[in-house]
Structure 1
């Protein structure tokens, strides 16, 4: 975050609010409220300014946002390059007092350094008078020690190498070209290549499709063949290796942990649910890419990602847009004709 000038809040509370600051202990809750969008905006603007104050590391500026002795609990952030991530009300309520000084809230506040992301659960109070109202951090209820970002580059964002092997899925609707990531999902890729080269998927349908979610293929009919693989049965997950459910990600379907076989799906969502996204501890570049291209981050860590579509997303979207029954089964399924492989520099 750019270290911009911070406008201090000192001197704006007025006599009424200064008295209220001394009476924040043992308050009586009178009413629970639903936060409005302007409540959220007020809070976010205030905590963005607080984040800037922390980045500058100026003690008086930091203290102007705080009530009580909470400054030392933010010591790990002072003077660092900080990025404000988000703040939202967990709860909002009124306490006994005048209408300028009766709002309180429980807030999740998230901020990141280049190496870690921190989450604070804070109690806040809105105090002031007819001239000025501001939110203040009253108390830190809980905090973590910072979730460390993995030191990694994103394979899904790297350029295709000249000798890289690409996989071509020829369908009734057109061609889908994808790259696979043997480095980070070796068992999944070996199984995919093995089954595809045996012709396992040839002549099979995309048997489950959900628009703005996924298209799914493989053995989905409950026949017991879901576990068919080159490993003679189900094999383990590879879910923590830096591959993500971006739009166009190719992944293994399963029935629970370590039940991978031949089921696969392709993510089809050109937007992201930001509420879900910001509940997750993700590197900033991952979060930014989700916001840029879309995807389903809530599936990360549960299913193995082993590939990424590089050409043919309009085909994927056409397959996802099919009419289906109540079980998400296409009324006229689009078939996989065959799967082949080629080097990226081959025509």
Structure 2
């Protein structure tokens, strides 16, 4: 079953008006007088070209038992063909979720995957080895999000299906890029918050995507994710 954000599927009508994709596509489909008069559209939004990676088989990954040390600071650097950004993991409020994320990053699980889903000014979503929204590491951890959590811009949390329990997560994560996600209930496990490189997140957010699936028009490659503790 797809690990897309369940509420996101239900909220397509709510967010579609803010995307403007349908009307833009229709207007740009008007035939030009000559081929040479057709403008060249840059779909990359300033990102370096990248080939779409082949799906990765996660193999047999043992479910981790490690948790983040609440006395340390953990920063995940997400390197993409659009630039780098940093996520400070919330070791105090989400030590189990962060521990699983670090466990996967240390094993280079995320390297060569993509941001496979973009809903403009809502979320960007990645971490799927299959690249379809249906993949994961083969295990699930559960850690309820703080009841006071609001998914405001820059917050990073974990995706789950509608049938998964509150706070369930595998490997797919999302970064909030707009105010609309603040309406979500605290069902999605907290990971942390973007503390550097929000301009890169905005660049990815601005890439044209299919309004029904969120599939970006160009590949947004996660080259690597590394986590350092201090």
TM-score (norm 1): 0.42
Residue 218, structure 1, aligned to residue 133, structure 2: no
Alpha carbons of structure 1 residues 331 and 339: separation in structure 2 relative to 1, 3 Å? same
CA contact 2:113–2:221 (8 Å) conserved in 1: yes
CA contact 1:239–1:300 (8 Å) conserved in 2: no
State the distance in 2 between where 1:199 and 1:316 align.
Answer: 21
Runs of 4+ displaced beyond 2 Å: 162-165, 240-244, 256-259, 341-344
SS at match of 2:141: coil
CA contact 1:211–1:317 (8 Å) conserved in 2: no
Q: Deviations over 1:87-130 (max 9, x none)?
A: xxxxxxxxxxxxxxxxxxxxxxxxxxxxxxxxxxxxxxxxxxxx
**Two-structure CA RMSD over aligned residues (Å):** 2.3
The residue that corresponds to 2:77 in the other structure is: 168
CA contact 2:116–2:133 (8 Å) conserved in 1: no
Please, which of 191, 194, 209 is the counterpart of residue 103 of structure 2?
194
5 Å-filtered alignment, 1:115-194, equals: 164-194=73-103
Higher alpha-carbon Rg: 1
Please, which of 261, 266, 275 is the counterpart of residue 170 of structure 2?
261
State the distance in 2 between where 1:316 and 1:254 align.
Answer: 21
Aligned residues, how many? Answer: 155
Instruction: Give how far 1:297 is off.
Output: 1.9
SS at match of 1:251: strand
The residue that corresponds to 1:240 in the other structure is: 146
CA contact 1:209–1:320 (8 Å) conserved in 2: yes
CA contact 1:244–1:305 (8 Å) conserved in 2: no
State the distance in 2 between where 1:260 and 1:169 align.
Answer: 19
The residue that corresponds to 2:11 in the other structure is: none
Unaligned stretches of 5+ in structure 2?
1-70
The residue that corresponds to 2:214 in the other structure is: 328
The residue that corresponds to 2:158 in the other structure is: 252
Please, which of 165, 183, 189 is the counterpart of residue 298 of structure 1?
183
Alpha carbons of structure 1 residues 314 and 234: separation in structure 2 relative to 1, 3 Å? same
TM-score (norm 2): 0.61
SS at match of 1:207: strand
Q: Deviations over 1:242-292 (max 9, x none)?
A: 4431211110000033342111000001xx36xxxxxxxxxxxxxxxxxxx
Residue 340, structure 1, aligned to residue 226, structure 2: yes
Unaligned stretches of 5+ in structure 1?
1-161, 274-295
User: Which of the pair has the greater relative contact order for Cα pairs under 8 Å at 6+ separation?
Assistant: 2
The residue that corresponds to 2:32 in the other structure is: none
Structure 1 or 2: more strand by fraction: 1
